[in-house]
Amino acid sequence: MTISETSTQLPTRPTHNGEAPVAEPVVVGPLAGNPMLLGLPVFAAGSVAFGLTFIGYVPPTARAGALPVIMTATGIGLLLATAWAVALGQSAVASVFGLFAGFWLSYSVLLLGLTHNWFGIPAADTTHTVAAFLITWLVIIGLLTLAMLRLPIAYTLVLVLVDVALAVILAGTIRGSQNLDKIGGWVAFAFAAVGAYLFVGAASEATGGESLPLGPPVIH
């Protein structure tokens, strides 16, 4: 989507010897581009890092090791993509990227807070604290999924997979099951893969190629 904006303000040029001021038009360049070229790859990067911590590649006690990617690259990158989408007037894109920025950044704060005891939460209450976080975001991403059913099905698939991952990890958290955590981690790789597919399609189109097929929307 490209939005061209031309300023209507006409500043005057300084004059001498009593000459009448001359208006000079100021033209603002076109506001263009596709924020998905930033939002999708940083989303995929955070998803891969998230999945690696849940499939057992690193022990549960070292899950904060994913935060350099999740908090800085993914969280901040999605905020920038959100601002880019807002500038273009792409409300739906801004909503998706903004909510996922909130998810990844709040996950980072949760993990750091629990690791360093920022919130003073007793160890016995950690499970329900994490569960409350997961339930909250499962509700929000679930609503986002329903709200975006008019998008091509590839986008819906990403959101559905995120819902599934959160639900499985929630069950694993409550039951203390590492097997369920691992399943959630593999599902995270699945939505990272779909996000990567969407990025490749957007990048191909942006560089003069053909976009990849995204499928029909669930609701027309």
Whether the per-residue pLDDT at 4 is higher than 70: the answer is no
The per-residue pLDDT for range 85-130, each reduced to its tens digit, is 999 999 999 999 999 999 999 999 999 999 999 999 998 999 999 9
The whole-number pLDDT of residue 60 equals: 83
**pLDDT tens figures, 158-194:** 999 999 999 999 999 999 999 999 999 999 999 999 9
Which structure tokens are listed for 110? Answer: 């949760």
Residues 6+ apart with CB under 8 A from 87: 31
Q: What is the pLDDT of residue 32?
A: 78
Interval 5-24: pLDDT, tens: 333 333 344 555 555 554 44
Between 31 and 131, the more confident residue is 131
Of 17-21, 22-26, 152-156, 208-212, which range is least confident? 22-26
Closest CA to 61 of 126, 131, 106, 121: 126
- Return mean pLDDT, the chain: 88
Provide the percentage of residues in the chain whose pLDDT is more than 90: 81
Which pLDDT does position 69 carry in this prediction?
Answer: 97
Which residue, chain included where needed, has tokens 């950690």?
126
Q: Is the dihedral of CA 134, 136, 139, 144 positive or negative?
A: negative
Domain ranges of the chain: 36-206
Q: Bigger pLDDT: 27 or 65?
A: 65
Q: Which residues face 152 on adjacent strands?
A: 217
